[in-house]
Structures are given as C-alpha cells and as structure tokens.
C-alpha cells in the first residue's frame, strides 16, 4: 500500500514520535479502537479497516478479538509518517472514516514507548 500522508499535525498538539535528539523510537505512536462488528470475519474486517484508513494519517497494524461480547475487536493503528505527532484532528479523521461502515465503541491514544518514558521522567 503506498498512500501518501498529508500531515495535519504540524499545528496540532499530540504525542511526540521521537524523544529529544530526534532519535526514532522502536514503535510509532498510534491509537487502539474497539469496534463492534459481529457480521464479518476477521479477514473481511481487516480488509475494511485497511481500506477505510487508507486516506488517513494511520495504518492498521493489528486486529484481535476484544473479548467479552462476540463480534468485538481491538484494532491497532499507527502513524504512517516516520516523524510527526498524533493530534486530535487526525484521530477524528480516522474515526469519521470508520463510522461510515462500522460502529466504534472506544478509542485510546498509544504513545511511542520512548516518548512515554520521557514524559514520566520530567
């Protein structure tokens, strides 16, 4: 998949991708979305998520059952860009795309591990 990301994060506060010094982290920041879609298989849902996220700042990285009620899934997305931040405008953009076909229940921001450690060290 070769979608170009048009960053909206330059003016949005967000989760930093890199710690001070500009060194890349081992994982990009992203979000986890809990979805309810009992009518699709994992493969069908993954295909839909990849397609719906295609025009956003995020890419699907994982899809696992959420446990509890049947048909609930945890979809993990990470920022496409090698550098940048995760801002609310980007998250809302993804959620709007997902809501066209799916019912999302919960969303969580996921900072990059080094960025989270730096935030707690200060």
What's the CA dihedral at 67, 79, 10, 52 to 10 degrees? Answer: -70
Q: What's the pLDDT score for residue 27?
A: 66
48 within domain boundaries: yes
The band of 85, judged by pLDDT with boundaries at 50, 70 and 90, is: confident
| pLDDT given for residue 50 in this prediction | 96
Within a domain: 46: yes
Strand-pair category, 58-65 with 72-79:
antiparallel
Residue 9 lies in a domain: no
Helix (H, G, I), strand (E, B) or coil at 95: helix
Residue 12 has pLDDT above 90, yes or no: no
Report the number of distinct structural domains present in the chain: 1
How many C-beta atoms surround the C-beta of residue 56 within 10 A?
23
> Does residue 37 lie within any of the structural domains?
yes
Range of the domain at 79: 28-121
- Within a domain: residue 62? yes
Does this model's pTM top 0.85? My answer is: no
Percentage of the chain lying above the pLDDT 90 cut: 43
């Amino acid at each position: 998949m070769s979608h170009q990301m048009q960053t909206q994060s330059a003016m949005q506060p967000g989760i930093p991708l890199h710690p001070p010094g500009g060194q890349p982290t081992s994982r990009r920041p992203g979000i986890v979305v809990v979805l309810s879609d009992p009518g699709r298989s994992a493969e069908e849902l993954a295909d839909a998520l990849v397609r719906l996220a295609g025009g956003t700042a995020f890419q699907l990285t994982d899809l696992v059952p959420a446990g509890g009620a049947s048909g609930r899934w945890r979809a993990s997305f990470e920022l496409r860009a090698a550098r940048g931040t995760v801002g609310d405008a980007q998250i809302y953009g993804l959620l709007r795309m997902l809501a066209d076909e799916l019912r999302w229940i919960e969303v969580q921001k996921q900072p990059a591990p080094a960025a989270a450690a730096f935030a707690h060290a200060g």
